Amino acid sequence: MELEMKYQKTKGLTDNPLSYCPGCTHGIIHKLVAESLEELGVLDHTVGIASVGCSVFSYQFFNADMEQAAHGRACAVATGVKRIHPDNVVFTYQGDGDLASIGIAETIHAANRGENITVIFVNNAIYGMTGGQMAPTSLIGQKTTTSQSGRNVLQHGNPIKISEMFQHIDGVAYLERVSVFNPKQVRNAKKAIKKAFQYQIEKKGFTMVEILSTCPVNWGKTPVDALKWVEESMVPVFPLQLFKDSGVSHE
Amino acid sequence: MAKVLMKGNEAIALAAVKGGCDAFFGYPITPQNEVPEYLSKYMNEHGKVFVQAESEVAAINMVYGAAGAGARVLTSSSSPGIALKQEGITYIAGAQLPCVICSVMRGGPGLGSIQPSQGDYNQATRGGGNGDYHVICFAPETIQETIDTMKEAFDIADYYRNPVMILVDGLIGQMMESVDFDRPVKHRFLPPKDWAATGTKNHPGKRNVINSLYLEPKELEAHNNMLAKKYALVTQNETRYEMINMEDPDYVIVAYGTMSRVARSTIEILKEKKLNVGIIRPISLWPFPKIAFDEIGKNCKGLLVTEMSMGQMIQDVQISNRGRLPIAFYGRSGGIVPEPEELAEAVMNFEKWRVE
């Protein structure tokens, strides 16, 4: 009797071992992005842009052509690629330090130009790679290595809400905030990511999926507690919702 | 195409197109604005790429992306704008991507002025970006030479997979001259860009990654050694200079760009005073034409370096001179272009302008 293959690792990922810490949800998000590209049949004409942060090595993990960008500049690099090859699928994979802090100008203007690219925005409210410093998305009261008594509004302002800002930009075709803290949320995240790529293929414009993610090591939590912290502490500040969908009829 | 009267910056733009430019990314800054203005129309009309970026930083990173995707890419800016681009330039050099950068110098430091200057010699030849890299830098003296150099620049960038900078000052950018766009250009054999990130369907079985990150010390050192070999090859093949009136001169003026034009007039003034003065005109600023200084006749009494700055190229002249001849410096800054008579006075009063 021949066995039928029901499930296997996506062809969208290479065999390089991931460099992420135990319990970090970057790995899940990588898988969702890779599966989406594979299922849409676009892997062989995709160019991904790796950013600077924990996902700096994503160019080793996605099984596609990749360009590694300077810190914050992924959307500018993606613009360069997409304008040369408009029929390629081009995506960036960026953390909250890269996108919401040093790269916010590049991201806003790429969105405003309606660059037909997909931005995978991984928000874990901290700088992971550099060792747990405060991010623009760190929560009020959150202790980090540069906010050791907890982030306070007077000194550092409130966590920046990227999706709430970007929903007002005309060039944005699709924008949703999702998470991966339980299997249901993982399935929702997959749907959002796939839809964003589908819209890019249909040349609808700028698409972004913000994904609330964990950083157990720098949060000082177990992987399970980290998932709980996303649900109980991050979601109230960064509500999971569909912000914009140009594909939906507004009749 | 017959000779036409054209402004420097517009000529730079058209010459880039003639050199095969596929895409332009830039941000407005005086005195180079005619470059993007011209291209905004031309590129759109010819199905090529033009993007006015949100900043110089974004523009140079768009260059990185497009160059990494295999295109011939141009960006253009001026002094403070080039400063902002230097982050991207080191990534481009590190990832071995070809591109052409046009720098139309204005006064500095800081916001400085919008008048012509040569105050960015160090910025162009030393770079402000991090790490061991070089930008191949050419400094033409006329609009015609700027056109000829620009037409060749994309080939040179592609050949070495390295950024090439065309360095002029605001005077060359803003003035008009009679020029010919059809002068022949040396073309090189260029291998296909099989390293470009264009999607694996274009190179099955191989994943192309554009990258400058090497966390393993030995890997990064090997990368730097490989780059050093390339830079040695560039020095051997692309060093360019002109020797003007160098038959046994009494003095030699060292000048590039606009200042070498001024110095040509100074030769005539000093002939009347029975002084025979030659010019060494560096055309490639990096690699600097050190060998030109070995060709100076033994009756030469000294080198007068002149720049529209407080003195930057003078360091390369000192290195090239190796202590053999006395060196003097005459420079003006702030947007002032020295008159030929000023240079003549400086040659005649050499000791007054002498530097250690």
With a cut of 90, say whether residue A2 has pLDDT above it: no
Cα–Cα dist A142/B13, whole Å? 52
Are residues B191 and B251 both part of a single domain? no
Which among B61, B73, B199 has CB closest to A44? B199
Q: Assess A111–B contact: CB distance below 8 Å, yes or no.
A: no
What residues contact residue A186 under an 8 Å CB cut-off, 6+ apart?
A28, A32, A180
Residue A250 has pLDDT above 50, yes or no: no
Which residues 214-273 on chain B approach chain A with CB closer than 8 angstroms?
Answer: none
Contact between chains at A70 and B54 (C-beta distance less than 8 A):
no
Predicted confidence (pLDDT) per residue in A122-163, tens digit:
999 999 999 999 999 999 999 999 999 999 999 999 999 999
Strands (E) across A189-236 are located at 206-212
What is the count of residue pairs from A and B with beta carbons less than 8 Å apart?
130
Domain count, chain B: 2
Q: Is A203 on the interface with B (CB under 8 A)?
A: no
Cβ within 8 Å of residue B66, ≥6 positions away: A80, A81, A83, A84, B22, B23, B25, B49, B73
At residue A74, the pLDDT reads: 98
| Residues B160 and B298 placed together within one structural domain of the fold | no
Same domain, B309 and B211: no
pLDDT at B187: 87
Structure tokens at B229: 């070999």
What is the rounded CA–CA span in Å between residue A140 and residue A160?
11
Residue A44 forms contact with B (CB below 8 Å): yes
Domain CATH for B10: 3.40.50.970
Residue B129 to residue B94: CA distance in whole angstroms: 10
Distance between CA atoms of A93 and B106, rounded to whole angstroms? Answer: 38
pLDDT at B1: 67
One domain for residues B131 and B213? yes
Backbone angles phi, psi at A239, to 5 degrees: -60, 140
Element (H, E) at B34: helix B34-45
Which CATH number belongs to the domain containing residue B270 in this structure? 3.40.50.920
One domain, residues B54 and B201 = yes
Of B206, B238, B270, which marks where a domain is finished?
B238
Question: What letters, b where the CB count within 10 A reaches 16 and e where it falls short, cover A106-121?
Answer: bbbbbbebbbbbbbbb
Confidence (pTM):
0.97
- Model pLDDT for residues B47-93, shown as the tens digit of each residue: 999 999 999 999 999 999 999 999 999 999 999 999 999 999 999 99
A175-227 tens-digit pLDDT = 999 999 999 999 999 999 999 999 999 999 999 999 999 999 999 999 999 99
Residue B213 in contact with partner chain A when CB distance is under 8 A:
yes
| pLDDT at residue A1 in the model | 74
> Which residues of chain B fall below pLDDT 50?
none
Q: Best of A42, A44, A49, A68 to disrupt the B interface by mutation (most B CBs within 10 Å)?
A: A68
Q: Considering the domain A26-245 in this protein, what is its CATH number?
A: 3.40.50.970
> Looking at the structure, do residues B157 and B127 belong to the same domain, yes or no?
yes
Residues B112 and B211 in one domain: yes
Single out the residue in B184, B211, B238 at which a domain terminates: B238
Instruction: Identify whether residues B290 and B232 lie together within a single domain.
Output: no
Delimit the domains of chain A by residue range. 26-245
A225 in contact with B at a CB cutoff of 8 Å? Answer: no
Per-residue confidence (pLDDT) for residue A221, from 0 to 100 = 98
Q: What's the pLDDT at A249?
A: 41
pLDDT at position A251 over 60: no
Q: Is A64 on the interface with B (CB under 8 A)?
A: yes
What band does A247 get if pLDDT is binned at 50, 70 and 90? Answer: confident
Query: Residue B306: which domain range?
Result: 242-355
pLDDT, average across residues A85-99: 98
Tell whether B98 is within 8 A of chain A (Cβ): no
Closest to A80 (Cβ–Cβ): which among B25, B207, B208? B25
Q: Are residue B221 and residue B248 in the same domain, yes or no?
A: no
Domain final residue, candidates B238, B272, B306: B238
Q: Are residues B139 and B218 in the same domain?
A: yes
Q: In which band, very low, low, confident or very high, does the pLDDT at A248 lie, cut at 50, 70 and 90?
A: low
